[in-house]
């Protein structure tokens, strides 16, 4: 991950896959462009919608090195993504990653609509990046 080697580190990565293939990957670009909305998940969603020339990403899976924040989960749901897999979980990382700490990933489930979230995947390999907010 390039961002993890930069002085202005923002070591969070995300990918979108469909049909067992990765469509696109992205890194957090908040510090690169000074834009607080350029989280890795937001960047990859934008890149995939442009690449596929469609805003509906139903059938895709979002993958992230850190549990997506409230903004990213909302964008994911607006894009029709109903499955997210992530490494570091909210309860195990620094509070700075979540503006609304009382909101949890289960709050992003929509009545009657499937939503799958799988957290803690390889968490032990990345937790040192996020536990104290030092990524």
Which residue blocks in the chain are alpha helix, DSSP H? Answer: 30-33, 40-52, 70-78, 123-130
How do 21-27 and 83-88 pair as beta strands?
Answer: unpaired
**DSSP conformational letter for 15:** E
Residue 110: phi and psi, rounded to 5, are -110, 135
* Structure-token pair, residue 119: 């957290």
Known catalytic membership, residue 125: no
Among candidate residues 24, 27, 29, 41, the one labeled active-site is 41
Answer yes or no: are the C-beta atoms of 40 and 34 closer than 8 Å.
no
* Structure-token pair, residue 92: 């195990």
**DSSP conformational letter for 14:** E
- Which residues are marked as active site? 41
């Amino acid at each position: 991950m390039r961002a993890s080697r930069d002085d202005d580190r923002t070591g969070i990565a995300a990918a979108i896959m469909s049909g067992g293939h990765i469509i696109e990957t992205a890194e957090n670009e908040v510090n690169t462009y000074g834009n607080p909305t350029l989280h890795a998940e937001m960047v990859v969603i934008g890149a995939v919608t442009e690449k596929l020339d469609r805003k509906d990403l139903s059938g895709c899976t979002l993958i992230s090195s850190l549990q997506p924040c409230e903004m990213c989960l909302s964008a994911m749901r607006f894009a029709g993504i109903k499955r997210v897999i992530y490494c570091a979980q909210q309860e195990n990382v620094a509070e700075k990653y979540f503006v609304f700490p009382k909101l949890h990933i289960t709050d992003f489930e929509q009545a009657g609509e499937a939503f799958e979230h799988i957290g803690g995947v390889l968490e032990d390999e990345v937790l040192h990046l996020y536990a104290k907010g030092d990524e």
